[in-house]
A and B are shown apart, each in its own frame.
Chain A
């Protein structure tokens, strides 16, 4: 089962190694990891997606909380948080399928960043399922390059408002 952990850490060099090393050392696989500084320059936020049952995730949480630089660990339930990922995709188009590609882009709420004679560079954000979805829809066109940020998440303030 996929879990999304939102972790607040001190913004020190080496903290990322400490956290990711903890996963490596215990044989837990990280699906994605995204890090950025918060409004407080001393604190960074990490979002880690991992696959594991409740026991494994509980272990991970406990071990993370032992690290002196880890300030908070939150297991983000899908229903009570918003989860997003940004993807940049460059793919091939031809004269024949150009309008089809543009229709798809419109339908998906995609931002077009560059269009050349034979290619489109687009930006899309959504939850991981939606991101995977658009990738598979565009695949037949011929994907040239993909860059995904990995998932970030934040909990809704009102946990009943879902």
Chain B
């Protein structure tokens, strides 16, 4: 501990610590118990504060900012209801390993535990959904907790941390401050040494005839894209990614087989069945990907992860490397040999040819897949895309090919409807020069629709692509296929006029309903750097294919062409 000569308040110290760590932007909402901090923030010239309309918006913005920049996302809320409104976002960030610092106001220390006005035990509530949390009881402790929190949020497998900050502690004076070396810059933190034998690890890959790389969100967190590409090319191994891993390996690369899992491509899922070696790079054998122990039944399984608790958690593996993915791949690369994998690559090409992503585009209605392909073409794949959760999310994952990391923002683990719009806002603040598109649905957008005001207030150029089928599309799809078309509470019998709604917020908007309007629609949507909302009316019966029915495994994959069989 070092001391400054001048005593400052806890609130002031928090602002200074944030500034020193390099935080440039915070997303938040003031309230009584956080006012002393906000009063200090008022004087900060380095930190920009974005006033949101709901704290859930604040934390998803911080997530979108973090995911698209690789930096720490910071959000602020007051005590009680302000703090509890962060719960969904904290859980989301925990499941997707997003580095978030949440600062919450708390009632004064002498009132804690008395059921005071706007009091909630946010420390206790968030224990299972944060990587670290602390109640700051004295201003003297703030610096220590702050350092701990940032290191834990950014280091190792990233995740959300929460500092609960009582009002009197914000006002209390302190001279205690650690000499700060904290930075929120990507990959600033020391990585643990890679444990395991890289040579032996590489040998198994060398011996494989039909290797497959299976890349997860850890590849994005570790900034390991270049290494993965080098590994795939050197080993001549096809690459599939999880939903969270999209962009970690170029979707347009000849070795890419796209996404695997429940709504992954047929060729990726078939490649999993046929491969004789599967190398998991920073994924976690999630149950939407690897349903059963017989995942990749013919394969030797290898796993690289920074979190030792992921090894053999759901699926047993044969080879393990524990450590940061980027470092681990660098260590195995020298031992990797090329090998002749011509017949395997040919096999993959055939799978791609015989089992393509497919949909019926023959009628007059607009197909979301078609629209997304056109948006992809028009943006040359350069946009940052966020999504909400549902059919539109899977179509976006399938039909917008991601070539670069940190350009795909989606709620993978928790499946949070309401994530997309605020995540896009956060991403745009972090990447003002890039096109940022939120792909959403009529159900999802209504969960955080109030953040349209945040777009309007900041004159932010966020593009909103709203697929409207007047249904909870994914729920409807399941009800149609597995519940004998009993559409229990999945139809919106009332939806607002989204175009007028956007208009009310000063956001240019347009609705299209027929195929003939597509070009006009794409043009309108992407014409300049300003914000825009396009509402694309799509058929309610349009489904996401391929799909692996819940509880089934890769063998049970249903493709678009199987739909007829399914209906019988």
Contact = CB atoms under 8 A, between A and B. Distances in A.
B132 A65 contact: no
Contacts of A58: 312
A21 B127 CA distance: 8
Contacts of B135: 13-14
A14 B122 CA distance: 12
B312 to A, nearest CB: 8
Determine the interface band of chain A, counting residues with CB < 8 A from chain B. Answer: 10 to 19
Contacts of A59: 309, 313
A133 B308 CA distance: 40
Contacts of B312: 55, 58
B148 interface: yes
B148 A68 contact: yes
B127 A62 contact: no
A13 B141 CA distance: 14
Given A68-B148, A68-B152, A63 B309 contact: yes
Interface residues of B, number: 16
B123 A21 contact: no
Interface string B447-489: 0000000000000000000000000000000000000000000
A17 interface: yes
Contacts of A17: 124, 127
Contact of B127 (A18, A55, A63, A68): A18
A63 B313 CA distance: 10
Contacts of A55: 312
A21 B309 contact: no
Nearest to B310: A62
B172 to A, nearest CB: 19
Contacts of A129: none
Given A62-B309, A65-B308, A68-B152, A21 B132 contact: no
B128 interface: yes
A48 to B, nearest CB: 17
Nearest to A55: B312
Interface string B126-167: 011001101100000000000010001000000000000000
A25 B128 contact: yes
Interface string B310-347: 01110000000000000000000000000000000000
A157 interface: no
Contacts of B131: 68
Contacts of A13: 135
Contacts of B19: none
Interface in A2-21: 13-14, 17-18, 21
B213 to A, nearest CB: 25
Contacts of B382: none
B85 to A, nearest CB: 21
B303 to A, nearest CB: 13
Given A14-B127, A17-B124, A59-B313, A68 B132 contact: yes
A58 B135 CA distance: 31
Nearest to B130: A18
A14 B123 contact: yes
Contacts of A22: 128
B307 interface: yes
B104 to A, nearest CB: 15
Nearest to B152: A68
Contacts of B152: 68
B127 A65 contact: no
A111 B153 CA distance: 52
B308 A62 contact: yes
Interface of B: 123-124, 127-128, 131-132, 134-135, 148, 152, 307-309, 311-313
Given A62-B308, A62-B309, 14 more contacts: A13-B135, A14-B123, A14-B127, A17-B124, A21-B127, A21-B128, A22-B128, A55-B312, A62-B311, A62-B313, A63-B309, A65-B309, A66-B309, A68-B131
16 contacts: A14-B127, A14-B135, A17-B124, A17-B127, A18-B127, A22-B128, A55-B312, A59-B313, A62-B309, A62-B311, A65-B308, A66-B307, A66-B309, A68-B131, A68-B132, A68-B148
